[in-house]
Amino acid sequence: MNGGVIIGGGHPVVMQSMITCDTMDTAECVKQTFDLVAVGCQIVRITAPTVKDAANLQNIVTELRKRGCKVPIVADIHFKPEAGMEAAKWVEMVRVNPGNYADTKKFAVKEYTNEQYAAELKRIEEKFAPLVLLCKELGRAMRIGTNHGSLSDRIMNRHGDSPVGMVESALEFARICRKHDFHNFKFSMKASNPKVVIECYRLLAARLEQEGADWNYPIHLGVTEAGEGEDGRIKSAIGIGSLLCDGLGDTIRVSLTEDSPREIEVCRDLLGQIPVLTVGDEVTSLTSKGNQSLLTSAPIFPFDPFTFARRKTPEIELTGGVKCGGEQLIRVVVTRASWDRVASKIRPKDDVKPEAVYENLKITELDPTKNFDINGDTQLVTVKDGVNLPAITAFRLLASKLKQLGRNNPILLKDCINFESVPLEPKIALLRASVVIGSLLADGIGDAIFVRGESGAGQSLRLAYNILQAAGCRSFKTDYVACPSCGRTLFNLQTVTARIKARTEHLKGVKIAIMGCIVNGPGEMADADFGYVGGAPGKINLYVGKTPIKFNIPEAEAVDRLVDLIKEHNKWVEPEAVSVVS
């Protein structure tokens, strides 16, 4: 694309983010763009909700170029094709969401005959083709970005709100591009659930390969509405990091409910861990010898890459009545040293607590690069420390070898099987553990987890539970789906998110979505129990699931009304004093 940034091929993965101010505020847009560029952002996205906003992109881009800033600008287009046409005159890339670029979602249930479906595709082409032709004429790039929960009624009725629907929606728009000999585009498949993200991108990659060698378009990775703080970073690391480790992804954005420049630091840190998590001397030596049998001798793939299912194992006892495997929760294991440091601070009702001590476990440590046999399925197994493979590869190979042997032994996952000579920074330990353990949990592998890369006893314990929550394996606290701010946002997301958390963070198992506007509203809240959505300036709409319940509530009253709504649906409990583990 223009601006000196090349995406795809053998080029490095590109980091991008989005400014958060009103697009009509030219000076602030320019300032925020420079703030992002200063920390290393390589592509900047700006929303253009109306034709007027899109037209002001000319002033923004002119000022940026006059001041020597060549960063490519992406216009974010949703409901108004005419805004896309205007934006394409001024920016290097236009992002369109097939779910709402040419469709109006009404959540209507309708059966489409093949003829009706074909007629809908023709109607979509009539709306979308002019933008394609304009981008081709002006040398612009395009991002075809589908989002979980914002698919069109047509796609929803045929494919459901599913990875298949997301991929098919994007491919329909891609075929229109190709029909007009326009190929300067990339794909994205975003969701707030990391497992859905992983499934979507894997399915997309498989479908592109099926379509043919000339369908190898670049891919943008992201977990949308990841939230803030550790939770946002963990969700992003699971979804983005696992895909990068599998060789997918040409651009990335870590979407945090924080100031945009902070996203770039996480992008950089995450990208920096991928070589560490994917390179092992054993892999290199096997390949160089032309002998890959140790890596490929287990021909039975250990999991379905496109549909999540937990690996089936028998139920076994770890210690003191704590069980794992089968239908049991995925358990948290700690070292003896960590147990000694935190055990005295744990209360009986606390959800975050060690459930087993590694040194006390009856566990068999295996080297999956070598042949092994194991008697019975009730022995807990793990990868032996020192195996010269990346951890993700080692545990996948272990699961595959067990399947080849006809064994279903429960597996203890470790975040690292080779230790660093010095302790990791907490932010790096968090990312590595999230990528390794989260990736394997998303594959359905793992019955207990053991975080060791984080040296702090209390920190490692909380990190283990936070990974399990982010991966959808356990729920020990309130789950928040919070979009990053942008020019469409109708309230201060960071302030409101903090206010809502202060009132509701004790509601274990309740999922609350905090959305700045209707674009990221009822559809993209996906499976949230309750939604707090900007409806108009100073006004909030409240949802139960995808159903709007209360409209135009003054922002000053909205958090109280949200609490009332939670109480009305019997999801409220009074908060108790919470112990702190350190």
Q: Are 368 and 389 in contact (CB under 8 A)?
A: yes
CB atoms within 10 A of CB 300: 12
Q: How far is CA 114 from CA 104, 106, 540, in A?
A: 20, 21, 40
pLDDT band at 284; cut points 50, 70, 90: very low
pLDDT at residue 283 above 50? no
Q: What is the pLDDT of residue 551?
A: 92
At 446, is the secondary structure helix, strand, or coil?
Answer: coil
- The residue ranking higher by pLDDT, 445 or 513, is 445
CB 95 within 8 A of CB 76: yes
> pLDDT at position 522, please?
59
**Residue 167: predicted pLDDT:** 97
Query: In Å, what is the CA distance from 378 to each residue of 324, 407, 473?
Result: 10, 9, 22
Residue pair 306/443 in contact by the 8 Å Cβ criterion: no
Q: Which two tokens stand for residue 282?
A: 């054993």
Return d(Cα 525, Cα 483) in angstroms, integer.
9
**Residue 519 pLDDT more than 70?**
no
pLDDT at 107: 63
> How buried is residue 10: exposed, middle or buried, by Cβ count under 10 Å (0-12/13-18/19+)?
exposed
Of 158-172, 292-306, 463-477, minimum mean pLDDT range: 292-306
Provide CB contacts within 8 A for 100, sequence distance 6+.
78, 79, 150, 152, 519
Q: What would the mean pLDDT of 570-578 be, rounded to a whole number?
A: 83
What percentage of residues in the chain have a pLDDT greater than 90? Answer: 74
Residue 271: which residues within 8 A CB-CB, separation 6 or more? 13, 15, 244, 252
Helix (H) or strand (E) holding 365: strand 363-366
Give per-residue pLDDT as tens, 385-435: 999 999 999 999 999 999 999 999 999 999 999 877 778 999 999 999 999
Res 582 pLDDT > 70: no
Q: What is the mean pLDDT of the chain?
A: 90
Alpha-carbon gap, residue 267 to 14, rounded angstroms = 9
Q: Give the pLDDT score at 94.
A: 98
Which residue in 506, 524, 518, 519 sits closest to 566, CA to CA?
506
CA distance to 98, 118, 276, 555, per residue, from 128 (Å): 9, 15, 42, 37
Percent of the chain topping pLDDT 70? 92
pLDDT of 294 > 80? The answer is: no
Do 108 and 151 touch, CB atoms closer than 8 A?
Answer: no
Between 350 and 138, name the one with better pLDDT.
138
Which residue spans within 99-140 are E strands per DSSP?
A: none
What is the per-residue pLDDT across 5-49, written as a single tens digit (0 to 9) for each? 999 999 999 999 999 999 999 999 999 999 999 999 999 999 999
| Lowest-confidence pick of 268-282, 503-517, 547-561 | 268-282
Task: Assess whether pLDDT exceeds 90 at residue 279.
Answer: no
* Length of the chain as a residue count: 582
Angle at 352 between CA 350 and CA 353, to 5 degrees: 90
Neighbours of 206 (CB within 10 A): 13
152: pLDDT confidence band, cut at 50, 70 and 90?
Answer: confident
**Which residue(s) pair with 75 in the sheet?**
46, 94
**pLDDT above 60: residue 579:** no
Helix or strand (DSSP H, E) at 45: strand 43-47
Contacts of 327-331 with CB under 8 Å at 24 or more apart are 328/447, 329/473, 329/474, 330/441, 330/446, 330/447, 330/448, 330/449, 330/468, 330/473, 330/474, 331/355, 331/356, 331/447, 331/448, 331/449
> Cα(501)–Cα(482) distance, rounded to whole angstroms?
11
When pLDDT is averaged across residues 544-573 and rounded to a whole number, the result is: 93
Q: Which pLDDT does position 285 carry in this prediction? A: 33
pLDDT at 87 over 90: yes
Return the SS3 of 302: coil
Helix (H, G, I), strand (E, B) or coil at 15: strand
Does the pLDDT value for residue 286 go beyond 50? no
Give me the domains of the chain, ranges plus CATH numbers: 14-278 (3.20.20.20), 298-470 (no CATH), 479-568 (3.30.413.10)
pLDDT for 61: 98
* Both structure tokens of 322: 């704590």
Q: What was the pLDDT predicted at 280? A: 56
pLDDT at 287: 32
